[in-house]
Structure 1
Amino acid sequence: MRFNWNFDYIKGSKIAYIFSIILTVVGIISVLSLGLNYAVDFRSGSNVDITVSKAFTTEQINPIVNELGVDTSEVQITTGSDRVNIRFSNVLDENQESKFKQEFTKLDATASYEVNTVDPEMAKELERNAIYAVLIASIGIMIYVAIRFEWRFALAAVVSIFHDAFVVISVFSIFRLEVNLTFITAVLTIVGFSINDTIVIFDRIRENLRFAKKSTKADLREVVNHSLAQTMTRSLNTTFTVFIASLCLFIFGGESIRMFSLAMVIGTFFGAYSSIFIAAPLWFTLKGKQVNKPKTVAKETN
């Protein structure tokens, strides 16, 4: 039995617009006031990842960190059943690394270490390149959609993908979640997933426009609602599959891909939401202005 997806999505988009505007404003305030919780990938410092044979508490590790002569106020220690992660705001030199390993080995002789260090210049370059990657991808998508469809489709698509990317960034800023290189990978993946879903909807709208009457906004409204109803099952099935896979990776995956998985969980949901309630209705709004324009009638001259 097939579900009937015939709803007035354009009417529902008004609530979606309000929700998205509120979320965007909150996100802007959070990003401007709190910023992002950058991992060592995007700010200078050293990140020590230790695989251990037993669980340790922060209290057991603090004395070792205190002996290194670093600023302990910005040292972040994360412990788990088989892993300890310590992030230093300053770059550890060879002597400090050696001393740390020597002291920690007294707690766990079988521990293995992975030390990642990023200097200030490299951190700035990585942050700059990440921004460029998102912008270039968005511009490329806009050009592709404009060529394949029209500029209204392109504008609606880019607004939609910027919305998805910024929602994920906002959530990570509000809840102080760590932003690392895998997070940027997730954002670019979300952009690709979102535009794929949007293109499918736009393609159906364009196909239906060929055989539909489109002299009034009501005609366009019917085309958009009908196109969304036709693609709804496909959109939800794809979204649900990716969402469940990302959720399983977040729950059962390793620490190294946890933030990637969480970003995918959030972005997958909002990618489907924006394609249905933002991209298509925004195209309808832009196209509706063209329909409402009075047609000029050439005056007969004597």
Structure 2
Amino acid sequence: MSTNETPATPHLSATGDLTGAGKRSVFDRLYTGTGAFDIVGKRKRWYLIFGLLMLVCLGSVIFRGFNLGIDFEGGTKISMPAVSASGEISTERVTEVFSKTLNAEPSAVQKVGAGTNSTIQIKSESLSVAQVTSLKQALFTELKPQSPTGESSAAQISDSAVSGTWGGEISRQALIALIVFLVLVTIFLALYFEKWMAVGALAALVHDVIFTAGVYSIVGFEVTPATVIGFLTILGFSLYDTVVVFDKVKENTRGLLGLTRRTYAEAANLAVNQTLMRSINTSLIALLPVIGLLVVGVWLLGVGTLQDLALVQLAGMLAGVLSSIYLATPILVDLKMTEPKFKEQAKRVELRRANAARRQEAVADLDLDDPDAVDAEVRRERAYAVATSVPARTPKATDARRGAKPAGKPTGKKRR
């Protein structure tokens, strides 16, 4: 090892881990970030897991599809107060009246809000004017809804026709925004970092998009305009966490080709470990408001818009954190290792470690009481120094190992 390569961690092993790291607690290893977790080294395992996950999500999107809301497919929406003189009106009772009146099932019946201001929203396929009039009269006759002021009349039940054209326009604009975003992100990453980092970040971003879409398809969440808005917001979060990790990778690999301490994969794995605690803390802090939206919006207020927004952000943020740690950096390492210069640097690292291991074995087996053995060891060290440009031990150090005083030039005048 050349003299300008001072070890940053004296007990760093060949894989970039600390010797004895397994004896320390998980939280200690997370906090110190010294490469104790071999994330990049196990990248084939992560590829398999994420690959299977992507196949499931893509299969659900292709064969199962999405539960599109009324804003995308078009239809009729009816709104009425959720309270009557006899108490709250249940969604089951509304569904029963709808089915009995029109001999059909509504697309969705949900309660929005809480207390006297709560309402029930009915979404169905497009209804004719006669069907809407008949349904409103049946709902008033059967359920007697009344306003917060106590007024009870058929006028308290409102209806509106929704065209699917509006939802389609939203989808088209969202797709345009996504394409523009990806193009700008690619240009930025390629200029600020490098091309392979841009490819790794985009691969992680595509994973987040497919995962979030697959969750909505598998679970059957209703896709609304709020879902599309939340879908676009998760892209920035995913990219932010990836950029933080890549910035540390760039710092750790600066001037790496001239060194033989670590390979590119080990330096990248150290960067992931150094930013791992930050990624966890950032994701937890970001998820707390989202969970708050989910709890308040769904269980307390029953607001469908907040539910759609919170669910897409929850799924997208979780996917973003996992992909930035387990997917983006491993992909970057595999792409970098296709370059010959990094392959050669990895071979030099392996050669230095193999030579160091052989030297340690030779020293351990050396009999210091045998002068011939010591001389042979000195010759081996000098040959190694010539081959690897590492200074060998001086004769002074060799004499010290034998237990003799070093030979030096005579000082003073010769006695007569």
Q: Structures share a fold, TM > 0.5?
A: yes
Using the TM superposition, give the Cα deviation of residue 146 of structure 1 relative to its aligned residue in structure 2, in angstroms: 1.4
Rounded to whole Å, the distance in 1 between the matches of 2:180 and 2:215 is 23
Name which of 184, 189, 198 aligns with 1:145: 189
**2:31 maps to which residue?**
3
**2:162 maps to which residue?**
118
Rounded to whole Å, the distance in 1 between the matches of 2:261 and 2:61 is 38
Q: What is the aligned-residue RMSD (CA, Å)?
A: 2.8
Matches within 5 A, 1:214-253: 219-253=263-297
Q: Is the counterpart of residue 63 in structure 1 residue 97 in structure 2? A: yes
Using the TM superposition, give the Cα deviation of residue 270 of structure 1 relative to its aligned residue in structure 2, in angstroms: 1.2
Rounded to whole Å, the distance in 2 between the matches of 1:114 and 1:216 is 75
Structure-1-length-normalised TM-score: 0.85
Change (3 A) 1:22 1:51: farther
**2:57 maps to which residue?**
27
**Which residue identity does 1:10 align to in structure 2?**
V
**2:333 maps to which residue?**
284
**1:299 maps to which residue?**
none
Q: RCO higher in 1 or 2 (8 Å CA, sep ≥ 6)?
A: 1
Rounded to whole Å, the distance in 1 between the matches of 2:289 and 2:310 is 9
Per the alignment, in what secondary structure is the counterpart of residue 109 of structure 2?
strand
**Which residue identity does 2:293 align to in structure 1?**
L
Name which of 186, 190, 207 aligns with 2:230: 186
Rounded to whole Å, the distance in 2 between the matches of 1:115 and 1:210 is 64
Per the alignment, in what secondary structure is the counterpart of residue 41 of structure 1?
helix
Rounded to whole Å, the distance in 2 between the matches of 1:238 and 1:293 is 32
Change (3 A) 1:65 1:132: farther
Rounded to whole Å, the distance in 1 between the matches of 2:209 and 2:245 is 19
Whether the 8 Å contact between 2:108 and 2:124 is mirrored in structure 1 is: yes
Using the TM superposition, give the Cα deviation of residue 124 of structure 1 relative to its aligned residue in structure 2, in angstroms: 2.9
Name which of 116, 119, 122 aligns with 1:86: 122
Rounded to whole Å, the distance in 2 between the matches of 1:259 and 1:293 is 46
**2:47 maps to which residue?**
17
Rounded to whole Å, the distance in 2 between the matches of 1:220 and 1:293 is 7
Cα shift readout 1:117-146 (whole Å, capped 9, x = no counterpart)? 432433333333332222222222112211
Rounded to whole Å, the distance in 2 between the matches of 1:167 and 1:96 is 40
Name which of 66, 86, 109 aligns with 2:146: 109
Whether the 8 Å contact between 1:58 and 1:79 is mirrored in structure 2 is: no
Using the TM superposition, give the Cα deviation of residue 60 of structure 1 relative to its aligned residue in structure 2, in angstroms: 4.1
Structure-2-length-normalised TM-score: 0.63
Q: Is the counterpart of residue 270 in structure 1 residue 319 in structure 2? A: yes
Per the alignment, in what secondary structure is the counterpart of residue 42 of structure 1?
helix
Rounded to whole Å, the distance in 1 between the matches of 2:221 and 2:166 is 22
Rounded to whole Å, the distance in 1 between the matches of 2:261 and 2:215 is 36
Residue range with higher mean Cα deviation, 33-42 or 125-134: 125-134
Using the TM superposition, give the Cα deviation of residue 109 of structure 1 relative to its aligned residue in structure 2, in angstroms: 1.8
Q: How many residues align?
A: 292
**2:385 maps to which residue?**
none
Using the TM superposition, give the Cα deviation of residue 114 of structure 1 relative to its aligned residue in structure 2, in angstroms: 6.6
Change (3 A) 1:30 1:285: same
Using the TM superposition, give the Cα deviation of residue 272 of structure 1 relative to its aligned residue in structure 2, in angstroms: 0.7
Residue range with higher mean Cα deviation, 115-124 or 266-275: 115-124
**1:134 maps to which residue?**
178
Using the TM superposition, give the Cα deviation of residue 63 of structure 1 relative to its aligned residue in structure 2, in angstroms: 2.5
Listed as ranges, the gaps of 5+ residues in structure 1 are 296-302
Structure possessing the higher radius of gyration over alpha carbons: 2
